[in-house]
């Protein structure tokens, strides 16, 4: 299923390369940066953040301790699930501990927001919660790195596609 290369002039090839190797990867990278930053900003504006401001200092420190324990336990739980040598009893203990911590967190938050429903966080929610605690400069640096990474991937993919589909009319070597 090999396609014949399309023969184009040097000017056309130059235009195609500029478009596909610079403009399109740059636009996709900018969209990636905006998406990453938007996800971070939306994780900042959760309703629990506004409730968090109403919580008194004793409950706030207790809530921080519970959340820290939850993160540590969750990491241990993931490690135990991935480890082929881990026993099922350990995984079950960690799962019960996570449920207990979620219930404790729910009890504290329910004091300030009676409509709060306790549910176990998904991996994405836990990741967004961790991401919400990251300072602005670090997030923007991560966004920039993600954008550059996307730009490089798209650029080399486009270069590969162009080299497979097009050839310049001046690329032919004369036989002597």
Domain ranges of the chain: 28-46+53-165
**For 129-174, how does the pLDDT look when each residue is reduced to its tens digit (9 = 90+)?**
777 777 878 888 888 888 899 989 988 888 888 888 877 666 554 4
pLDDT at 176: 42
CA-based end-to-end distance of the chain: 33
Q: What is the DSSP letter of 175?
A: P
pLDDT at 52: 63
150, 32 in Cβ contact below 8 A? yes
10, 169 in Cβ contact below 8 A? yes
139, 37 in Cβ contact below 8 A? yes
Q: CB burial class (10 A; 0-12, 13-18, 19+) of residue 112? A: middle
pLDDT at 40: 75
pLDDT at 174: 47
User: Whole-angstrom Cα distance, residue 46 to residue 161?
Assistant: 42
Name the one residue in this structure whose structure tokens are 């009319």. 169
Q: CB burial class (10 A; 0-12, 13-18, 19+) of residue 90? A: middle
* Helix 123-132 vs helix 24-44: crossing angle, to nearest 10: 90
């Amino acid at each position: 299923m090999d396609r014949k290369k399309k023969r184009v002039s040097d000017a056309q090839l130059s235009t195609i390369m500029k478009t596909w190797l610079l403009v399109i990867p740059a636009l996709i990278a900018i969209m990636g940066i905006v998406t990453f930053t938007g996800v971070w900003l939306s994780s900042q504006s959760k309703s629990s953040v506004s409730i968090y401001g109403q919580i008194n200092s004793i409950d706030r420190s207790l809530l921080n301790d519970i959340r820290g324990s939850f993160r540590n336990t969750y990491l241990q739980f993931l490690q135990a699930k991935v480890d082929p040598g881990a026993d099922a009893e350990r995984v079950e203990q960690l799962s019960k501990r996570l449920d207990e911590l979620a219930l404790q967190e729910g009890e504290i938050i329910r004091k300030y927001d009676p409509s709060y429903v306790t549910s176990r966080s998904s991996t994405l929610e836990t990741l967004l919660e961790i991401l919400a605690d990251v300072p602005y400069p670090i997030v923007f640096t991560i966004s920039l790195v993600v954008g550059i990474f996307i730009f490089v991937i798209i650029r080399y993919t486009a270069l590969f596609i162009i080299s497979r589909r097009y050839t310049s009319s001046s690329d032919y070597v004369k036989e002597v």
